[in-house]
Amino acid sequence: MIRWRLNEVMARHRVLAKDLADFIGVSRNAMSALKKSESIPRVDGERLEQLCIGITKLSKIGEKVTPYDLIEYIEDET
């Protein structure tokens, strides 16, 4: 299973949804939908890059964010 971790990463970096939405140029509703997704939403490489750059620049903890931070692979136990 692939899990989308945007909400967790934003919380860890203390980045507000409205600030990230403004930074990447999407509506607050669109950002809310991206944050609430449990499975990976359909985002292209450009949007994924914008999310990483935006969180990195707005981060209160000063750590770089990569696509690998936003996506988690959990192997099925079957």
As to burial, measured by CB atoms within 10 angstroms (0-12 exposed, 13-18 middle, 19+ buried), residue 27 is exposed
What are the residues whose beta carbons fall under 8 Å from the beta carbon of 38, sequence distance 6 or more?
Answer: 3, 4
Give the per-residue pLDDT at 65: 97
* Cα dihedral 10, 17, 53, 73 in deg (nearest 10): 40
pLDDT tens for the chain, residues 1 to 78: 889 999 999 999 999 999 999 999 999 999 999 999 888 888 899 999 999 999 999 999 999 999 999 999 988 876
pTM of the model: 0.90
Alpha helices in 1-78 (DSSP H): 6-13, 17-24, 28-36, 45-58, 67-70
